[in-house]
Amino acid sequence: MKPAAVRELAPVLPAWRANLLLLVLAAWFVGLAGRALWLQALNNDFLQRKGESRYSRVVEIGASRGMIVDRNNEPLAISTPVESVAASPADVDAEPADLRKLAQLLGIGNDELRARLFDTKREFVYLKRQLPPEQAERVVQLGIPGVFLQREHRRYYPAGDVMSHIIGFTGVDDKGQEALELAFESTLAGKPGSRRVIRDRLGRIVEDVESIRVPQNSQRLTLSIDARIQYLAFRELKAAVVTHRAKAGGIVVLDAATGEILAMANLPAYNPNNRGKLDANRMRNRTVTDLFEPGSTLKPFTAAAALEAGLFQPGTVIQTAPGQMMVGNRTIQDAHPQGALTVAQVIQKSSNVGTAKMGLALPSETLWSLFSRAGFGVQPRSGFPGEVSGRLRTYTTWKPIEQATMSYGYGLSVSLLQLARSYTMFASDGVLQPVTLLKRDAPVQGTRVISADTALAVRKMLELAAQPGGTAPGAQVSGYTVAGKTGTAHKLEGKSYAANRYVASFVGMAPASQPRIVIAVMIDEPTAGQYYGGAVAAPVFSQVAAGTLRFLAVPPDAPAKTTVLTPESAPLVREEV
């Protein structure tokens, strides 16, 4: 074919189409260049974020939780480092066989593990918290990219069940869940920090880039508790609960001068280091949260009100024969009928009739006022979470029989801590001391409730109660004078009192000449035969007081050969209200 014919067959394209195509291509290249300039020079944050997301991570730096120590700096709660297994879902690259091994090693289901590992909406996820070191090491040996160990802290309690009701425990996130760990969370927790790091494809940190927020470590919490006294109190309480086959028990030891709580123990108890099976019934701090009717331990307050009113003196004679009296259509009676007794002997022998006659001789407002000022019906304000205020009805609602029974401890309810605190007014010459679980560096001002003369007179009566002829000779301590009062109260069962269920109690102080400590003991439902406060609770006081006075280096105030009567050899003066 001739060249002219070929030219005739070739398509003829308009020049404007070529120019248009050239213009589009040029614009496209200009746009790409402009976008590159914008991203790489003028606004490079987007690309930088995308690039950093491949290797850069922000990790939290936990603040070390503060130690809890006793008044002598013995550790009661410490945080120990542990390893947790975590993952960065975006970096996870694992074979199915490796995932099955990991799930088996962590003790979780394969489907659950996959759901966590491949949740790409999250940059960080925990797979298993707080592993033992050997288990954590086996996880590392799997070498799964994106799965790594995260350092955390776990709370450890050296005293175990001995301190459990005071200290409480923390959860898996190291946050307080019970008792003082909860009450002082803001003090103990501190504030976590954070830092930016570079991780390799296995999730290991290879470089620290920058600190974003510095962690603020917490403060140490120093308690008023003396660990030596706490161990002693727990041991003796446990022995009594076991011996008398009791349902529960509690004990509180106070510094009579400062109101500091030196020991506070409960049974049943629990081990805060083993949080797998926690029973709510064992976790209650019964000395603070549970109420009971104090029974005869309230009689000294009625005597104090009578002395303060000027209607009675310690030597005033009250006729209690024939051992019972009628108030309306109700009968009040003594467990052991007596004849004419002085006010001091009424407390020594724990006469219900004598106490009721004193209580009924007073205006109801006078009796109520002293009970209220002694701390009944008011929270002790120890700083412990969940403490109760008890129950003290206003005097305007009292009937004569209620006024009579309240005078010897029925119709109102108290916690063991309240009861222990109320006795500080007899130990501190009429001044009620504020209680605390924190160590005090300086003395605090108490509240005067009764005169010093009345407090001394009642203390002398309480000395008689702890001697032969009283209800609590088993409370004696060799080398020291002791003052205290027993209680043996029937328990409420519905709207009436159970015939064979008792709360046995004793509250006392030593040395009686100048009290340094106040101890309150409560044994709930002893079932081994003995149930009187003098036989069940007073011996616990004796053992704990003897050791506590020795720990505190309190000099003896009685002959060194003072005879301490055992419950078996002590003459039994029955008491039951």
The catalytic residue among 224, 296, 382, 428 is 296
Annotated active-site residue 296? The verdict is yes
- For residue 165, give the nearest of 302, 267, 305 by alpha carbon: 267
- For residue 235, give the nearest of 220, 219, 253 by alpha carbon: 253
Query: How far is 233 from 415, CA to CA, in rounded Å?
Result: 18
Beta strands, E only, 459-516: 483-493, 496-510
Structure token digits, residue 102:
């990991």
Name the 3-class secondary structure at 453. helix
Structure token digits, residue 476:
């004696």
Query: How far is 523 from 506, CA to CA, in rounded Å?
Result: 9
Q: Give buried/exposed letters for 302-332 (b at 16+ CB in 10 A, else e).
A: bbbbbbbeeebebeeebebeebebebeeeeb
Please, are residues 485 and 507 in contact by the beta-carbon 8 Å criterion? yes
Q: What is the total residue count of the chain?
A: 577
Which letter does DSSP use for residue 223 in this model? Answer: B
- For residue 538, give the nearest of 561, 502, 565 by alpha carbon: 565
Query: How far is 309 from 304, CA to CA, in rounded Å?
Result: 9
Structure token digits, residue 80:
């120990």
Residue 252: C-alpha distances to residues 100, 197, 325, 435, 447 (Å): 54, 51, 35, 11, 21
Residue 403: C-alpha distances to residues 329, 365, 397, 454 (Å): 14, 10, 10, 22
Query: How far is 240 from 225, CA to CA, in rounded Å?
Result: 22
Torsion angle of C-alpha atoms 76, 82, 87, 92, degrees rounded to 10: -170
Query: How far is 323 from 337, CA to CA, in rounded Å?
Result: 4
Name the 3-class secondary structure at 136. helix
Structure token digits, residue 139:
């996880």
Query: How far is 387 from 289, CA to CA, in rounded Å?
Result: 5
Residues annotated catalytic, as ranges: 296
